[in-house]
Copies of this chain bind each other. A is one copy, B any other.
Amino acid sequence: MAVPPDLAHIHHAELFTTQPEESLRFFVDVLGMEVEAREGASVYLRGWGDYMRYSLKLTESAQTGIGHMAFRAWNEDALQRVAAAVEATGRGLGWSDGDHGHGPAYRFTDPDGHVFEILYDADRYEPPPQLVPSLKNQPQRYTGRGVGVKRLDHVNLLAADVRAAREFATDVLGYRLYERVELDDGSEAGAWMSLSIMAHELIYTRDHYGANGRLHHLAFWVDTREECLRAADLFLDNGVYIEAAPSKHAIAQGFFLYAYEPSGNRIEVTTGGRLVFDPDERPVVWTQTERAKGQAWGVKTIEAFHTYGTPPVESKS
């Protein structure tokens, strides 16, 4: 029986960079994010449409990849329910006092070893004078700098065992499964899940090397496909490596542009994607043959898209 999830949305992601200055320049000058705060080895960044203080915590690290991901619950009760459910699985790491911009968070790992946090208490963004918007239903003014991403949209993690990771997300965290890929051998190659009507918010795809805890990409939202095309022009003239030019995914029907930020993490600029209004939506299952057709308009995905992740496998100890 379909029920609305206890978690509301991804609150933020922490990204590791080995080249903090270059990465920061990319997120600020090219993607157009704002620096909301700095603390230790981390810079907290936000899109102009993020209602909370930040959606990206960029942290200098010895290797690239995802630091942790945080999810915000609908309310305190919902938070406690999910925390209890996680604890029952034995994957819990306990409560923290919180971080910049949010209160107590319960920390745990998904079955693939990625670090997750859930929280409820979170600050709302209050813009400084130079960023106060003209329209009061907007958290920040639109600066128009670079790509001008609006907010963090979704996260795609790699997993050695997609099915296990997916079942944890749906059964314990309450994610709704909208689409998945099932290969001819019955194994699961990818799962697209969401807490809302948006086509996807949390994605697991198979780690080509069978490694654990790696990141496929972080996706940032823009409101129009034209902004994705414009982003490609900006990437081109800013020397950003474009892995996949703008086109339309068959799965979830999102419009994409993939690139690598300076330290090597894959970043997507995205918009569109189907909306799921049916409470009883049946997951769409894509076969190996169907996936071989390429993207929606027939674009063949380049090999690296299926193999590359961060940190690179070679650098993992």
- Residues of A bordering B, CB below 8 Å: 1-5, 8-9, 49, 51-52, 72-77, 124, 133-138, 141-147, 151, 178-179, 196-198, 223-227, 229-230, 232-237, 239, 242, 245-248, 250-253, 272, 274-279, 281, 284, 286, 290, 295-299
Contacts and interface: CB of A to CB of B under 8 A. Distances in A.
A246 B278 CA distance: 30
A245 B242 contact: no
Q: Is the interface of A mostly helix, strand, loop or mixed?
A: loop
Contacts of A51: 276-278, 281
Nearest to A196: B197
Contacts of A242: 297-298
14 contacts: A1-B76, A1-B77, A3-B74, A8-B278, A75-B279, A135-B253, A137-B179, A137-B250, A137-B253, A142-B233, A142-B237, A144-B234, A224-B225, A224-B226
A234 B229 CA distance: 19
Contact of A52 (B136, B137, B278): B278
A74 B134 contact: no
Nearest to A294: B245
B2 A75 contact: yes
Chain B CB count within 10 A is highest, among A74, A234, A237, for: A237
A254 to B, nearest CB: 11
Contacts of A286: 136
Given A51-B277, A124-B278, A133 B245 contact: no
B247 A142 contact: no
A4 B1 contact: no
Contacts of A197: 196-198
Given A74-B3, A144-B230, A297 B236 contact: yes
Given A75-B3, A135-B250, A138-B274, A245 B295 contact: yes
Given A4-B4, A142-B237, A277-B9, A247 B250 contact: no
Given A245-B299, A246-B247, A253 B138 contact: yes
Given A136-B286, A144-B146, A245-B295, 17 more contacts: A2-B74, A2-B75, A51-B278, A73-B279, A75-B279, A134-B236, A135-B253, A137-B178, A137-B252, A137-B274, A137-B284, A144-B230, A144-B234, A144-B237, A151-B277, A226-B226, A246-B247
Given A144-B234, A237-B134, A277 B245 contact: no
